[in-house]
A and B are shown apart, each in its own frame.
Chain A
Amino acid sequence: MHISAESDCENIVETLENQLQKIDKPLRKRIISCAIELLQNNTIHNKGNGIDISVTETDDCIRLNTARKLDGKSTKFLNDKIQEINNISTVNLKDLFKKNLSVENLEQGTGNGLILCRLKSDSYIETKFSDETFEINLTFNR
């Protein structure tokens, strides 16, 4: 599924719910919550470029794969941010999530989207980049 950053994505929940309806509801909701965050991270920080989102299933797990066009500078920034999150324990990430909620400014982007992706998935956030394409992949155990 390709989602254009320019498009409104108005019914993104309904679209994802329909596409993933065979997956058990609690797991489906975790996947969709993460997909929303990755989509909106792209919309806010990578204006003008779309994002590809796909879900692949095995017997043991479900993977949420995303790919976006990104320049070298932004790739480094985003990858560094993700590795920083991967290096924090989930207990400390939960505390950081709560702390970010209470930061006064209400500008777009809270810093919590990627943290939520780590907390709701079952492994580190995986990244891959080549030829100006940056992938973020999440794994969910069944």
Chain B
Amino acid sequence: MNVLVEATGKTPHIYEENGDLCVWGVIIPENPTEIFAKLTNIVSTKYAENHNLKIHFSLGYFNTSSAKFLYNFFKKLKGNEGITIVWHYEADDEDILDSGKEFEEISGLKFEYSDTLLEVAK
């Protein structure tokens, strides 16, 4: 695991594993501008390498400010061939699953789903 951005109490780990990009933890800052700027830069750099990138989102919580940034993030990715979004949720967490489906619907991206959260060694 190659950690690109360390998690805080309000922002997620962003790391690389086996060529995939992973966003793990919570996204609940009052102002998510900075963390999404970092994420967008990382995605741009990684995607430019071979135009093929799988991005995993494994989130326990995100606030409504971040939901808006997530929507914009996904919307900007639409149309980029080779991008795959994998949306992780806990099997009993219908709210996070539903959020993924809403992002998929309104952004127009195709999501894959996994009912297991990623495990990150602390």
Spell out A's residues near B (CB within 8 Å): 9-14, 25-26, 29-30, 32-33, 36-37, 40, 43-44, 98, 100-103, 106, 108-110, 112-113, 115-116, 120
- Contact, CB under 8 Å: A29 / B95: yes
> From A40, which residue of chain B is reached at the shortest CB distance?
B30
Spell out B's residues near A (CB within 8 Å): 8-10, 26, 28, 30-31, 33, 60-61, 63-65, 67-69, 71-72, 75, 90, 92-95, 102, 106
On chain B, the residues within 8 Å of A33 by CB distance are: 61, 63, 95
- Contact, CB under 8 Å: B30 / A43: yes
Supplied contacts A26-B95, A29-B95, A106-B69, 12 more A-B pairs, CB within 8 Å: A12-B28, A25-B90, A25-B92, A29-B61, A36-B61, A43-B30, A98-B102, A101-B71, A102-B75, A110-B64, A112-B64, A112-B68
- Contact, CB under 8 Å: B30 / A116: no
Residue of A14, A30, A102, A110 near B9 (CB, 8 A) is A14
- Contact, CB under 8 Å: A40 / B61: no
Bound together, the chains give a CA A137 to CA B31 distance in angstroms of: 25
How many residue pairs link A and B with beta carbons under 8 A? The number is 72
- Contact, CB under 8 Å: A40 / B65: yes
- Contact, CB under 8 Å: B10 / A116: no
8 contacts between A and B (CB under 8 A): A9-B9, A13-B26, A14-B9, A25-B90, A101-B71, A106-B68, A108-B30, A113-B64
Chain A to chain B: the 5 pairs with minimum beta-carbon distance, closest first: A112-B64, A11-B9, A10-B9, A101-B71, A113-B64
Quote the shortest CB–CB distance from A136 to chain B (angstroms): 15
On chain B, the residues within 8 Å of A9 by CB distance are: 9
- Contact, CB under 8 Å: B95 / A120: yes
Residue of B28, B67, B106 near A13 (CB, 8 A) is B28
- Contact, CB under 8 Å: A10 / B10: yes
Quote the shortest CB–CB distance from B98 to chain A (angstroms): 10
Residue of B33, B65, B75, B95 near A110 (CB, 8 A) is B65
Bound together, the chains give a CA A11 to CA B25 distance in angstroms of: 12
Quote the shortest CB–CB distance from B27 to chain A (angstroms): 11
Quote the shortest CB–CB distance from B103 to chain A (angstroms): 9
